[in-house]
Amino acid sequence: MDDIQKMLESKRAAARLGGGEKRIAAQHGKGKLTARERLELLFDEGSFEEWDMFVQHRCVDFGMDANHIPGDGVVTGYGTINGRLAFAYSQDFTVFGGALSEAHAEKICKVMDQAMKVGAPVIGLNDSGGARIQEGVASLGGYAEVFQRNVLASGVIPQISLIMGPSAGGAVYSPAITDFIFMVKDSSYMFVTGPEVVKTVTHEEVTAEELGGASTHTSKSGVADLAFENDVEALLMLRRFFNYLPLSNREKPPVRPSGDPANRCDASLDTLVPANPNQPYDIKELITKVVDDGDFFELQPEYAKNIVTGFARMEGATVGIVANQPLVLAGCLDIKSSIKAARFVRFCDAFHIPVVTFVDVPGFMPGTSQEYGGIIKHGAKLLYAYAECTVPKITVITRKAYGGAYDVMASKHLRGDVNFAWPNAEIAVMGAKGAVEIIFREDKGDPEKLAAREAEYKARFANPFVAAERGYIDDVIQPHETRQRICRSLKMLKDKKLENPWRKHGNIPL
């Protein structure tokens, strides 16, 4: 028995050592944690249960039959985060550069399958050089098995990817399918083809950081949601982020105790919107003054800044926030902002998270670059997302809601449950100046007449009351009571039931 025990401990020690002390030191030298150190930080102390510690690859080519390391480059299992169940896999760069083999993929697939069975999120800590070339097509098949599970799990359990090293070639498509992607600055990157291939094919010279680093994907491509300074910050923030999410689509998000009164009023909101309709203001100030304790977890803050998305709590319950940002492009909707908001709304809808929308939108961004880029189809993505959404939807128009953008931003016509407007809201087909120039084009040469017509148009149409008279706005509320009215509405809607017509799936304009 002692011999068996010694053998077991020896095998466990070999697995825990990964690629060896030298490679662990190299990992630390890059400012990176090892695969197991990352899992220790991610999960509650002592809660992680590892699976398949002794799995090894089955490759016999190119000398691999003499090169086996227990675990085969990925640590898998489950544990708790703030007492709630989650599954995870953590790729070990010290073992074959974290390259994915058939056995490596099977380990990942096993935890994904189990997560689907029990209804718990999957978190992937990615740090891999890509496919294990020695295994050829078997490695590619392994990737495809993971991709298939990513697709089947989409909308069933939350999937989060944390890129903590390289993720290149086929490896990038698993994170791309997951719900959220976080990166670590200066040590993580994602691209389909690396700098060397780019140089060979297109003659462009670009570094890995420029091509697929955290800054690129959080500000230019929109592939990643957030970037953090180091592994420790990334894992601690992921733990915080996890608290907003339900474990699966079979349950609602957790409710946390809140000492912030639901009936709290904030008089400063009465002067938030400038008297000059062309003067911008920061919509994030409104968000932080309305949500519980001013705590707002923003996603994609550096991408498509003309729209703001993220999670917050109202009376302790998770809500998704979508808001036009007047500080950037006057809050206009464009291609990037439409895609950003649409994906966020669809996640909220899949996981029973109410959507609160703050509207100040003068319309869709004009111009050839937008039209040639497909703003018609991309703008329709956001319309589609709001229209199919069946969770509680509460909308507050703070200032402008013009044209088709009014319709798209969670209007009553798209089954908005409760639609409020502030007293200074302007809900119309377009702004007064543009409308007058079209309606009264015969007065174009008479500035005084045009000014009078503009004043008349503003008085008759640039207000919330025309829409309220038709029931498109449920109430015109004072800015300072916004939190109170939203909280009451959410409480009223907590047992809302709404189903879309049966279908295999809709055909969103991708």
pLDDT band at 170 (very low <50, low <70, confident <90, very high): confident
| 3-state per-residue secondary structure call for 116-162 | HHHCCCEEEEECCCCECHHHCHHHHHHHHHHHHHHHHHCCCCCEEEE
User: Which residues make up the CATH 3.90.226.10 domain(s) of the chain?
Assistant: 2-242, 267-425+463-492
pLDDT band at 130 (very low <50, low <70, confident <90, very high): confident
- In this structure, which CATH number among 3.40.630.10, 2.60.40.420, 3.90.226.10, 3.75.10.20 belongs to the domain 267-425+463-492? 3.90.226.10
pLDDT band at 396 (very low <50, low <70, confident <90, very high): very high
Please say if the pLDDT value at position 195 is more than 90.
Answer: yes
Q: Is 71 a catalytic residue?
A: no
Q: Is 404 a catalytic residue?
A: yes
The widest CA-to-CA distance across the chain, in whole angstroms, is: 102
- In this prediction, residues 156-180 reach a mean pLDDT of 96
pLDDT, one tens digit per residue, over 241-271 is 999 999 999 999 999 999 999 999 999 999 9
- In this structure, which CATH number among 3.90.1310.10, 3.90.226.10, 3.30.1490.20, 3.40.50.300 belongs to the domain 2-242? 3.90.226.10
- In this prediction, residues 33-42 reach a mean pLDDT of 97
Per the prediction, the chain carries an average pLDDT of 94
Q: Which of 170, 213, 331, 379 is catalytic?
A: 170
pLDDT band at 1 (very low <50, low <70, confident <90, very high): low
Q: Which of 405, 410, 428, 468 is catalytic?
A: 405
- Say how many C-beta atoms besides its own lie within 10 A of residue 435's C-beta: 19
Q: Is 170 a catalytic residue?
A: yes
Comparing 207-216, 380-389, 408-417, 443-452, which segment has the lowest mean pLDDT? 443-452
DSSP letters, 251-320, are SPPPB----S-TT---GGGGGTS-SSTTS---HHHHHHHHSGGG--EEESTTSSTTEEEEEEEETTEEEE
Non-local CB neighbours of 29 within 8 Å, separated by 6+ positions:
none
Please say if the pLDDT value at position 106 is more than 80.
Answer: yes
- In this prediction, residues 50-65 reach a mean pLDDT of 78
d(CA 281, CA 358): 13
Q: Which of 155, 373, 404, 434 is catalytic?
A: 404
pLDDT at 70: 82
Comparing 296-310, 394-408, 454-468, 472-486, which segment has the lowest mean pLDDT? 454-468
Non-local CB neighbours of 34 within 8 Å, separated by 6+ positions:
18, 24, 27, 28, 92, 94
pLDDT at 67: 67
- In this prediction, residues 452-479 reach a mean pLDDT of 90
pLDDT at 59: 67
Residue linked to tokens 């409480």: 491
Q: Which of 169, 320, 416, 431 is catalytic?
A: 169
Where do runs of H (alpha helix) occur along 21-136? 21-29, 35-42, 102-118
Q: What token pair was written down for 298? A: 């923003």
pLDDT band at 7 (very low <50, low <70, confident <90, very high): confident
Please say if the pLDDT value at position 508 is more than 70.
Answer: yes
Give residue 68's Cα distance to chain centre: 38
Q: What is the pTM of this model?
A: 0.95
